[in-house]
Amino acid sequence: MPELPDVAVYREALERFVAGRPLERIRIVSPFVLRSFDPPVGTLAGRTVLGVRRIGKRIVLELGDELFLVFHLMIAGRLHWRRAGQKGMGKGMLAALDFAHGTLFFTEAGTRKRASLTVVRGEAALRALDPGGIEPLEATLEAFGAALTRGNHTLKRALTDPHLFSGIGNAYSDEILHAAQLSPLKLTRSLSAAEIERLYEATRVTLGSWTDILRSETGAGFPEKVTAFREGMAVHGRYGKPCPVCQAPVQRIVYAENECNYCARCQTAGKLLADRSLSRLLKDDWPRSIDDL
């Protein structure tokens, strides 16, 4: 799922490419993508894009008279820009927004149909789409600590909860926890003040540096290679590969449709965290430490 750095760079690109431009028409290709009926999507045609916002992992086009078009990319949704006269998108297209100088395509890989497009009227209705998490790059240490310890959850769960933190998902939470040298399963209320501050700094540095990296890669163009697995990441998507800090093999916990990647030597004092399915299968043969492994 595109997270804060990816969505921030998408927003900046849309500001460059479509802000101040009239939207000529919207073509809905997949009937599953449009999640609203009032106001009708057709009422947006001819309106000028006045601005672009980010709400968590959502992208919002402002179209005047308090009308907003909201993209939620979910896991596999992506945006693509093609200049007028260029070949359009093929497989996976959900919708297309036509401008005089080009077209913004909304696509989704796979068949899950999770990505969505919503037309919203009014600031109050727009705010209702916001889960309410704090902005991690804007929050003070005190606000960050208060959100983190609002409940007693694992760090992995807390960082990825949109009601607590805006825009952090599976990929960057792995990177943040590795940078902070904290276990993904450590409970939030067991953290010391020093650990909370370390996590706060790791969050800001990780999200800020990756936003800068993606911004530099995109330049004046449009981001086309949006992925959760990037060269240069420390642990996310690097199971079995050497940790860039200590060279120990990166470990993982698989759960539901996700996995958590971590370095046992850097984050858990060498202890291997139990993967539910595999540890049950191996029972007494499950290795307890990175040295046993």
Instruction: Look up the CATH number of the domain holding residue 67.
Output: 3.20.190.10
Instruction: Judge if 113 and 157 occupy the same domain.
Output: no
Domain boundary among 94, 127, 160: 127
Instruction: Judge if 191 and 278 occupy the same domain.
Output: yes
Instruction: Judge if 169 and 271 occupy the same domain.
Output: yes
Assess if residue 272 is contained within a domain.
Answer: yes
CA 151, CA 129: separation in Å to the nearest integer? 22
Instruction: Judge if 115 and 158 occupy the same domain.
Output: no
- 62 close to 51: Cβ distance less than 8 angstroms: yes
Assess if residue 48 is contained within a domain.
Answer: yes
Instruction: Judge if 19 and 154 occupy the same domain.
Output: no
pTM summary value: 0.92
Residues 6+ apart with CB under 8 A from 191: 148, 149, 155, 182, 199
Write out the DSSP string of 41-55. GGGGTT-B--EEEEE
Assess if residue 266 is contained within a domain.
Answer: yes
Instruction: Look at the alpha carbons of 39, 41, 42, 48 in this order and tell me if their dihedral is positive or negative.
Output: positive
What distance lies between CA 229 and its chain's CA centroid? 12
**CB atoms closer than 10 angstroms to residue 145:** 18
Report the pLDDT value the prediction gives residue 254, as an integer from 0 to 100: 87
CA 42, CA 97: separation in Å to the nearest integer? 11
Closest to 17 measured CA to CA, from 238, 204, 199, 223? 223
Report the pLDDT value the prediction gives residue 276, as an integer from 0 to 100: 54
Q: What is the pLDDT of residues 173-205, one digit of tens each?
A: 999 999 999 999 999 999 999 999 999 999 999
Domain boundary among 80, 103, 127: 127
Provide the token pair at 149.
Answer: 């310890």
Instruction: Judge if 118 and 181 occupy the same domain.
Output: no
Assess if residue 145 is contained within a domain.
Answer: yes
Instruction: Judge if 240 and 164 occupy the same domain.
Output: yes
Q: What is the pLDDT of residues 18-62, one digit of tens each?
A: 999 999 999 999 989 999 999 999 999 999 999 999 999 999 999
At 282, which helix (H) or strand (E)?
Answer: helix 276-282
**pLDDT lower than 50: segments of the chain:** 278-287, 292
Report the pLDDT value the prediction gives residue 113, as an integer from 0 to 100: 87
Amino acid code (one letter) for 123:
E
- In sequence order, the β-bridge partners of residue 249 are 242
Assess if residue 134 is contained within a domain.
Answer: no
- 195 close to 201: Cβ distance less than 8 angstroms: no
Assess if residue 290 is contained within a domain.
Answer: no
Instruction: Look up the CATH number of the domain holding residue 176.
Output: 1.10.8.50
Range of the domain at 167: 141-285
Assess if residue 136 is contained within a domain.
Answer: no
The domain tally of the chain equals: 2
- In sequence order, the β-bridge partners of residue 242 are 249
- 215 close to 223: Cβ distance less than 8 angstroms: no
Instruction: Judge if 223 and 122 occupy the same domain.
Output: no
Q: How far is CA 3 from CA 25, 66, 265, in A?
A: 28, 26, 27
Instruction: Judge if 211 and 273 occupy the same domain.
Output: yes
Report the pLDDT value the prediction gives residue 222, as an integer from 0 to 100: 97
Report the pLDDT value the prediction gives residue 250, as an integer from 0 to 100: 97
Instruction: Judge if 16 and 106 occupy the same domain.
Output: yes
Instruction: Judge if 102 and 178 occupy the same domain.
Output: no
Assess if residue 38 is contained within a domain.
Answer: yes
Domain boundary among 127, 152, 185: 127
What phi and psi values does residue 9 have, to the nearest 5 degrees?
Answer: -70, -35
Instruction: Judge if 98 and 201 occupy the same domain.
Output: no
